[in-house]
Amino acid sequence: MKRREFILKSIGAGVFVGSAATFGGFSSTLASAYRADGKTAYDLVAVRGGQPEQMFNRGIAALGGMKTFVKKGQTVVVKPNIAWDKPPEMAANTHPGLVARIVEHCLEAGAREVYVFDHTCDEWRSAYTNSGIEKAARDAGARVVPGNSERYYHDIEIPKGVRLTNAKEHELLLESDVFINVPVLKHHGGASITVSMKNLMGNVWDRRYYHRNNLHQCITDYTTYRVPDLNVVDAYRVMMRNGPRGISVEDVVTMQSMVLSTDIVAADAASSLMFGLQPADVGHIRLGQEMGVGTMDLESLNVNRLRM
């Protein structure tokens, strides 16, 4: 193994095997998975060491199962990163097997319909196909919907926004009952890293506005309006440099990790540690806490650490 790859893998491993002081009060038992009110006792679940499908099975079980989030007859939007015309081994997009497994869990929980979409950066047909996500999602029973035309987007107001006070959001987000955010963790030249909060840029039509008007602030502004019901961070393969598109598989390290949380800021804070960053080093994570979207104080959370 190359020295650089060893160091990067060690950083990622440290997130999951570090002390409670490093990454919150970990627990490794499922015995107390629920509070008295029936809600999950865990604020965040970190899983390491398996295939994406296996890790999601363990992670969602620790949060009480998909029925905690999806009720019979509801419609669900599963929003992966499908931005780039890249194959899965490049880790530019969410792992297709993870997307498929989430769709299956939603349908098993009784969802009436599960939709998968993204507003891609590369040509959408090629990105949907070559990422492997379109086929995987359809085979699992989802309806895969394009996000390439402005006619799919409708005006919204963002009352708490500082720089982004209005936008055009994909109609699926306006019409569905449950929103599951499934980003891939990777390097990003403009935002340091891209995870859950930044993945929501694929919900809106004019992404260029973000880049012209304080990227970190706009990312955070949108999250004050649209908070996913669940965030599932794909860190199976992680692009450590040259993101978000990547140049070659040499940019990618296999970490075999996953983070699940209802708190989008906490999910991104935990993920930042895999890059050797402190959460406050990433502008939109820091702003997310300051604007009350969630917390980056991982020590205040009840975190369940699982190893496959």
Q: What percent of the chain has pLDDT over 70?
A: 87
β-bridge partners, 46: 259, 305
Averaged over 288-308, what is the pLDDT? 96
Q: 165-199: per-residue pLDDT in tens?
A: 999 999 999 999 999 999 999 999 999 999 999 99
Averaged over 278-299, what is the pLDDT? 96
In whole angstroms, what is the distance from residue 241 CA to residue 252 CA? Answer: 8
pTM of the complete model: 0.90
In this model, does residue 250 exceed pLDDT 90?
yes
In whole angstroms, what is the distance from residue 167 CA to residue 203 CA? Answer: 10
- Residue 210 is predicted with a pLDDT of 97
All structural domains of the chain? 3-307 (3.40.50.11440)
- Residue 22 is predicted with a pLDDT of 36
- Residue 236 is predicted with a pLDDT of 98
Tell me the three-class secondary structure of the chain, residue by residue. Answer: CCHHHHHHHHHHHHHHHCCHHHHCEEECCCCCCECCCCCECCCEEEEECCCHHHHHHHHHHHCCCHHHCCCCCCEEEEEECCCCCCCHHHCCCCCHHHHHHHHHHHHHCCCCEEEECCCCCCCHHHHHHHCCHHHHHHHHCCEECCCCCHHHEEEEECCCCCCCCEEEEEHHHHHCCEEEEECEEEEECCCEEECHHHHHHHHECCCHHHHHCCHHHHHHHHHHHCCCCEEEEEEEEEECCCCCCCCCHHHEEEEEEEEEECCHHHHHHHHHHHHCCCHHHCHHHHHHHHCCCCCCCHHHCEEEEEEC
Nearest CA among 65, 35, 62 for reference residue 47: 62
Q: 108-143: per-residue pLDDT in tens?
A: 999 999 999 999 999 999 999 999 999 999 999 999
Averaged over 77-86, what is the pLDDT? 98
- Residue 275 is predicted with a pLDDT of 87
pLDDT band at residue 16, thresholds of 50, 70 and 90? low
How many other CB atoms are found less than 10 A from the CB of residue 47? 26
Of 75 and 32, more confident: 75
- Residue 30 is predicted with a pLDDT of 34
- Residue 33 is predicted with a pLDDT of 44
